[in-house]
Amino acid sequence: MKKNILSEVNRVREIMGLDLLSEQTNPQIGTTVVSGDWKKKEPIQIIIDKVAKYAVLDDAAESVAKPFIDEVVDKLKEKFEGSLKKAIEAGMNLTKAKIRSGASNYYSDGSTIANVENDRFTPSAEDQDVKWDENSKPYKDNLALAKRRGTNFLIHIKEALKNKGINNLDSLESEDVESVIVNTGGVTDEKCLDDPNCKKAYPNPGQFITMDLIFDKEGEEGDPITECLVDMEIYVGYYREANEYSAGKKSSENHECDSAIFDILLNNIRVFTANLNNQRDRDLGDSKDTRKVNPDRMGGTVVCGIDIDNTLAQQIMAQTNHETIEIGIQGLVTGGCPPGGCSGNFEDRHKPGAPEKYARYNGEAIYWHLKNDGYSEKMMWDQKQLNLHSEVPMVTLRWGDGEEWVGEPDVKLVRGDNSYRKIMTFDVCKREVDGVIIDDTIEDSQ
């Protein structure tokens, strides 16, 4: 059997009539620690450690969570002049949560191996004199019980804080549950508490919860760059006529085809799909979800775009360590031929690896029509099957305060080429486009 070193030492000391040794003290046990100053844009961290006394085999959080919730609210109020409302108005939300839960090393009528000592952090010795080792079902069941308690506790806390207005669920960046079996002398917490010698050697109950929560204004946590990006609007379009999305500008060339479907990427993160078709403009999957302006005729103005929320801003900024953001475009129309028709002879056009004759988006045909032969309607391919459009659309960058840049990137695409292409860069906080301050580009972008 494996033996716990401290238990063996104490057994010898007891025989010799000497005082028993206690575990090393962990100053976090039974305490609450609060740090951070929201006025300095620092996140608020609240760590609360308490005994969590469950009934035998119970894993429901409702029986133990209330004191934790009450203290979290009290500590947040203290940081915001005694008002939870002020914390909510300041944008505080739960952004990170870690729960550490424990159980005593007693289960199923016997002692189980412990993986931490009574201070809850020091790894237990390999040799422990216990009934159930790490391969036994009672040990595994005991650890699983501790895990369920921690998991259920986290679920309960998140819901409780949501009801109080300080957890919108989308704000949570990370969550974790860690569970341990604490050395309590191989007996239940209650039995150890009733035994003066056990209580002296193992003063800390195995049933506990340490709750480590971080509250912050979404997207900040020391990252002002993300704040510059949040609420920004990005639009791409072909403008036969100027409108509110183009700051009074028209596209330099008219566009009329149904092969202009692209992914728009920021720092290689796909932020939206832009379907800029304006011929027949068929519905193709969900490619029109970001449409802002539909063409009113063949070749008419068509615009797509999005507002950048906090979650998307964080994803974009995670790909860079500076303020410069790269805008890229990638075509989604496959197959088809240039406007003049497919090149090569029949054999060339049908050999392995040759582009498909018919233009498609996500496998769905784009250019087709129905023909009625008097008996039924049949799908017929259009004669023209245009491959991917090659003109870069006009781009509009609009910040939350209304300042904007509108222009056509000086980049040429290759017709039918579906590879990713960088089309421009902008500095999200300095508001520079391709290295030039916006105010200096106004005349050039007319």
Spell out the per-residue pLDDT of the chain, length 446, in tens.
444 434 444 444 454 444 444 443 444 788 999 998 888 778 899 999 999 999 988 999 999 999 999 999 999 999 999 999 988 888 888 888 999 999 999 998 999 999 999 998 889 988 899 999 989 999 999 999 999 999 999 999 999 998 888 876 566 778 899 999 999 999 999 999 999 999 999 999 999 999 999 998 754 443 556 778 888 999 999 999 999 999 999 999 888 999 999 999 998 889 999 999 999 999 999 999 999 999 999 999 999 999 998 878 877 877 665 678 899 999 999 998 888 776 555 555 455 555 688 899 998 999 988 888 778 888 888 888 899 998 899 999 999 888 999 999 988 888 889 999 999 998 888 788 876 765 544 333 33
Round to the nearest angstrom and report the end-to-end CA distance of the chain.
83
Same domain, 34 and 68: yes
Same domain, 193 and 291: no
pLDDT of residue 343: 58
Could you tell me if residue 356 is inside a domain? no
Place of tokens 């790490």: 134
Could you tell me if residue 211 is inside a domain? yes
Q: How many CB atoms lie within 10 A of CB 190?
A: 14
163 three-state secondary structure: helix
Same domain, 205 and 253: no
Place of tokens 């946590």: 221
Q: How far is CA 409 from the centre of its chain?
A: 31
| 258 neighbors 282 (Cβ within 8 angstroms) | yes
Per DSSP, what are the bridge partners of residue 427? 324, 432
Sheet of strand 233-238, all strands in order from the earlier edge strand to the far edge: 291-293, 302-307, 233-238, 394-398, 404-407
Same domain, 208 and 245: no
Same domain, 123 and 140: yes
Maximum C-alpha span of the chain: 109
∠ CA 288-292-298, nearest 5°, is 75
Q: What residues have CB less than 8 Å from 41, skipping those under 6 apart?
A: 217, 220, 222, 224
Domain count of the fold of the chain:
2
pLDDT of residue 223: 57
Same domain, 270 and 176: no
Residue 379 burial class via C-beta count within 10 angstroms: exposed 0-12, middle 13-18, buried 19 and up: exposed
Q: What is the 3-state composition of the chain as percent helix, strand, coil, each rounded to the nearest 5?
A: 20, 30, 50
pLDDT of residue 438: 58
Could you tell me if residue 378 is inside a domain? no
Cα 51 from Cα 30, distance rounded (Å) = 7
Which uninterrupted H or E stretch holds 399? none
Last residue of a domain, one of 187, 217, 247: 217
Cα 74 from Cα 62, distance rounded (Å) = 19
Could you tell me if residue 394 is inside a domain? yes
Same domain, 209 and 109: yes
| 3 neighbors 127 (Cβ within 8 angstroms) | yes
pLDDT of residue 427: 86
Could you tell me if residue 339 is inside a domain? no
Last residue of a domain, one of 192, 217, 242: 217
State the residue range of the domain holding 296: 224-332+388-441
Cα 177 from Cα 244, distance rounded (Å) = 49
Q: What residues have CB less than 8 Å from 406, skipping those under 6 apart?
A: 246, 247, 249, 394, 395, 396, 397, 445
Last residue of a domain, one of 164, 192, 217: 217
Same domain, 200 and 241: no
Same domain, 403 and 283: yes
Same domain, 189 and 248: no
Same domain, 294 and 394: yes
